[in-house]
Structure 1
């Protein structure tokens, strides 16, 4: 066994794959084609449920199962109004791993997921929360720093890894995410105690990704500094920042926040609905960019590692390159 596979062993055994490289759940991008390709190439694909209806998720899982016999996961957002129905759909399909994102798991959700035999993975933006989640029964954690694309926390990956890994790496499998695009970074986090890594931005320009050619071209042209975090306008409407390439769509989000906050003030909607409207805005804006190719007015979610995405290539080549780079780094 190579040093890399030795360091990844806990992660690969937990996920049931050959290399402990997860694909981040990216709405409209992490669907049947990309997810199955990653799992078939030895990594671990994750379907992004996002704002999908239960019927859509049901169809997506079935379609993915038809394209791969390897394990894959499903990412659910905690604020989804049909969360427990989505959990039931995962159970009916015997989905092996569920990733919960977007805040603390709601009451009963951990028991519902684990009661069906699935392994539960959650995001941990701080050491105190990591300990709390593990006490609650979470099976593995993802440390995701602010360099990542899409919804982000305020702290850098490198800082979170130093804060959380020394205390938690022996307790549960830990996966590091945010700003990772090359194998030497993978190797360094494994040596710090991580069981594996998660990459999103790196896989957007995979040949199997259904992202519109305009969306992929935006990635291939971009530099790290082009991927900026959204700004929260109203402190009464807590919005998880989103990192995307700066365009007209980022300005439109500012206007959307003002409109939603006004409806909240007028009593037309409650806080839960206000936050769900923000989530729907992102789902719609992301669809305009990913599927329709409107990279000016849509949301081009990207991590700061986007500057290292320079060519479109098959998933198996992306994973092989990461593995080769990591093994070379460990050999030195």
Structure 2
């Protein structure tokens, strides 16, 4: 099956907005969502997104340039709102005429939305609750991603299914809303599209794609894992708000607990400000994730994965993953229309 009329019709708004054949975004996964995977997803009809993470402006400049050498299709860049060089990163995106910027990690700092929009890019923002979604749209966001706690990496407290029921009926008719978190099959994509979603975002299903540069041992850990192996981190100190992270349980998850205690102690001694403390936590995750993804240290590194990890059984080319998702969605919609 290479034609998906029912699914494509429901994705039409999202596809037009993204400029891609299918309204399937790839979640930004640090060290994983780089030039090779991003370009492969865009070339296969999806929408790749570079994970800037803790990159410097110089590194992001190079990554965008190298990605453009591998694809002529649209792709986006995900920026973390707490990055100290956020506005410089926005300028880098503008110089490369990146069409879509995704802001994640909290409320956009003052002036950042205007800076993105004035430079011609479309802004996609994460909304973990209805009220915040409305506020972001009023502030200039062109589209929202609602991501539930089933997702990998940084997560919120509410499940995708509940967020979808709260937000899609309120906002989806007049706004572009993409659903993320725990999506592993096209049947689920079909359900969210029928509820009004403009498209979806998946990360875990793409993490072990053939084109992913993730270490073979990182991929093997995913293949062995079940949904219950992807657990959320625990916040140790209420005075140090830490966004929970979902990853496969290993020694690295235990080490993060110790890292929180260490940073909290420094904060207690008033040696650093709260913003710097939270940034140290982010840098920890970036380093721990690199150890797993690049070095293959699956015991001590961070194996960020969503609960859909149990559906990742083998290495597949990106094109096959996307085609499979579209086929499953189309089959589900066709069956429902017959009933």
TM-score normalized by structure 2?
0.97
Cα deviation for residue 16 of structure 1 reads 0.1
Cα distance between partner residues in 2 of 1:172 and 1:312: 35
Cα distance between partner residues in 2 of 1:7 and 1:37: 24
Mapping of 1:196-207 within 5 angstroms? 196-207=199-210
Q: Which of the residues 92, 101, 105 maps onto 2:104?
A: 101
Mapping of 1:38-53 within 5 angstroms? 38-53=41-56
Cα distance between partner residues in 1 of 2:197 and 2:220: 32
> Could you tell me which residue of structure 2 aligns to residue 220 of structure 1?
223
Deviations 1:172-199 (CA, angstroms, capped at 9, x unpaired): 2110000001000000000000000000
Mapping of 1:234-253 within 5 angstroms? 234-253=237-256
TM-score normalized by structure 1?
0.99
Mapping of 1:130-145 within 5 angstroms? 130-145=133-148
Deviations 1:20-78 (CA, angstroms, capped at 9, x unpaired): 00000000000000000000000000000001111110100000000000000000000
Cα distance between partner residues in 2 of 1:2 and 1:244: 36
Matched, 1:275 2:274: no
The DSSP-based 3-state class of the residue aligned with 2:166 is helix
Q: Please, which moves more after superposition, 262-271 or 72-81? A: 262-271
Q: Which of the residues 264, 270, 273 maps onto 1:261?
A: 264
Q: What is the root-mean-square deviation in Å for CA atoms of aligned residues? A: 0.6
Matched, 1:116 2:119: yes
> Could you tell me which residue of structure 2 aligns to residue 308 of structure 1?
311
Matched, 1:167 2:170: yes
Q: Which of the residues 176, 186, 190 maps onto 1:187?
A: 190
Mapping of 1:283-294 within 5 angstroms? 283-294=286-297
Cα deviation for residue 171 of structure 1 reads 2.3
Runs of 4+ in 1 over 4 A off after TM superposition: none
Cα distance between partner residues in 1 of 2:55 and 2:236: 27
Cα distance between partner residues in 2 of 1:94 and 1:256: 39
Q: Which of the residues 13, 16, 23 maps onto 2:19?
A: 16
Unaligned runs of 5+ residues in structure 1 are: none
Cα deviation for residue 203 of structure 1 reads 0.3
> Could you tell me which residue of structure 2 aligns to residue 229 of structure 1?
232
Deviations 1:207-245 (CA, angstroms, capped at 9, x unpaired): 000000000000000000000000000101000000000
Matched, 1:27 2:30: yes
Cα distance between partner residues in 1 of 2:271 and 2:58: 28
Cα deviation for residue 97 of structure 1 reads 0.2
Unaligned runs of 5+ residues in structure 2 are: none
